[in-house]
Structure 1
Amino acid sequence: MTRQRPQVVAFDVNETLLDLAPVRAALVEAGQPESLLPTVFARTLLTGIAAASLGDWCRFRDAFDAALAQVSDLDGPVRTGIADAFGELSPHPDVEPALRRLAAAGVRVVTLTHGSPGVAEAALERGGISPLVERCLSSEEIRAWKPSREVYLWAVGRCGTTPERTALVAAHGWDVLGAQRAGLTGAWFPRAERSYPAVYAAPHVAAADLGAAVDALLDLP
């Protein structure tokens, strides 16, 4: 199937748009190695996605707390303080120019996360780029986690578009795969992941960086 230039581009939030440095710093302040963050983040996703796949559900924040408790001896109040650092995130430097190119081309931009509501909004405001984003969507509203097909189609419905004219940009291969299985155009670029998982169907767009991913979407017919 030939992919079409999207009318709406949805962006994953954590890592894709936002730098997790404040969470890493909070871990270090609590006496943990900064290398612990990838483990905790991955275990958070495992916890939430596994629960959702079994018909259960938990908040991202609760999954993060459970994951951190599994790999550290930090007590509850300290873990809470580390989780609060998600409220201090800021966009990566390459985010603003990428969003501005989409805005200049007349393409609508939204964020789509299973993370806590308010995190994306606060970070976009902190980065001075809130006007470039039409809306911030969290699947907590429907008690679901990506990569469930339900999440992507819910986002499409909220935007009043169709899967064929909607794209999902993410630095996580599993997120891109989920979007593509729901009929959206998927675009992947590396941040924490150095390569797209070879066991997945290829992404519609694979680019060297965020800017190149956006350019590739704008180049679609």
Structure 2
Amino acid sequence: MTRTRPRVVAFDVNETLLDLAPVRAALVEHGEPAELLPTVFARTLGTGFAATVAGAWCRFRDAFEASLAQLTGLSAAQRADVADRFLELVPYPDVEPALRRLTEAGVRVVTLTHGSPGVAEAGLTRGGLGALVERTLSTETIRAWKPSREAYLWAAGVCDVPPAQLALVAVHSWDVYGAQQAGLTGGWAARAERVFPPVFGEPHVSGESLPDVVAGLLDLPDA
């Protein structure tokens, strides 16, 4: 299927738009190594994925704190403090030019996360980017984690566009793959991963940075 220029672009939030540095710093403050964060974050995703596949659901925050309990000796209060730092995230430097180029091109911008409500809003506001985003979407509303098909189709419905006219941009290959399997256009930025796994095929659009991916999406032919 030939991909066309999207009418709406949805961005993943954690690690795509917002830097988890404050969460990493909180781990260090409580005596844990900074290098532990990727493992904790991956365990959090695995917990949420398992719940969704099994037909259940859990909040991102609960999965995150459970992962901290599994991997650290932190107390409940310390785990809560680390989780609270998600409200202190700031955008990566390449976020503003990417969002601005889309809005100047007349393409609507939203966020799509399975993270806790309020995290995207807080980070975008802190970075002065709130006006560039039409709305923030958390799949907590439908109790399903990405990359479930339901999550992407729900986002398309909320944005009132067919799946083919919604693009999902993320630095996580599994997220882009899930979006493409649901009929969305996928855009992968190679900030967090060295390669897009061959088992997932190829992303529809890819680039080294978010502005590179946005440029590729805007270069797609009009429907």
Give the structure-2-normalised TM-score.
Answer: 0.98
Equivalent in the alignment of 1:43? 43
Equivalent in the alignment of 2:95? 95
Q: Which runs of 4+ in 1 moved over 3 A?
A: none
CA distance in 2, matches of 1:86, 1:197: 28
Q: Does 1:79 align with 2:79?
A: yes
CA distance in 1, matches of 2:194, 2:75: 33
Equivalent in the alignment of 1:66? 66
Equivalent in the alignment of 2:131? 131
CA distance in 1, matches of 2:16, 2:62: 21
CA distance in 1, matches of 2:108, 2:125: 18
| 1:129-208 alignment, distance < 5 Å | 129-208=129-208
Query: Helix, strand or coil: the match of 1:35?
Result: helix
Query: Which amino acid in structure 2 is aligned with residue 55 of structure 1?
Result: G
Identity %: 69
Equivalent in the alignment of 1:18? 18
CA distance in 1, matches of 2:75, 2:198: 39
Query: Helix, strand or coil: the match of 1:199?
Result: helix
1:7, CA displacement in angstroms? 0.2
Aligned pairs, number: 221
Query: Which amino acid in structure 1 is aligned with residue 19 of structure 2?
Result: D
1:13, CA displacement in angstroms? 0.2
Query: Which amino acid in structure 1 is aligned with residue 50 of structure 2?
Result: A
1:191, CA displacement in angstroms? 2.1
Contact preservation (8 Å) 2:9, 2:107? yes
1:144, CA displacement in angstroms? 0.6
**What are the superposed Cα offsets for residues 156-186 of structure 1, whole Å, 9 maximum, x if unpaired?**
0000111111100000000000000110000
Query: Helix, strand or coil: the match of 1:79?
Result: helix
Query: Which amino acid in structure 2 is aligned with residue 80 of structure 1?
Result: A
Contact preservation (8 Å) 2:191, 2:208? no
- Measured on the aligned residues, the alpha-carbon RMSD in Å equals 0.6
Q: Which runs of 5+ in 2 are unaligned?
A: none
Contact preservation (8 Å) 2:189, 2:206? yes
Name the stretch that deviates more: 196-205 or 147-156: 196-205
CA distance in 1, matches of 2:172, 2:197: 9
Q: Which runs of 5+ in 1 are unaligned?
A: none
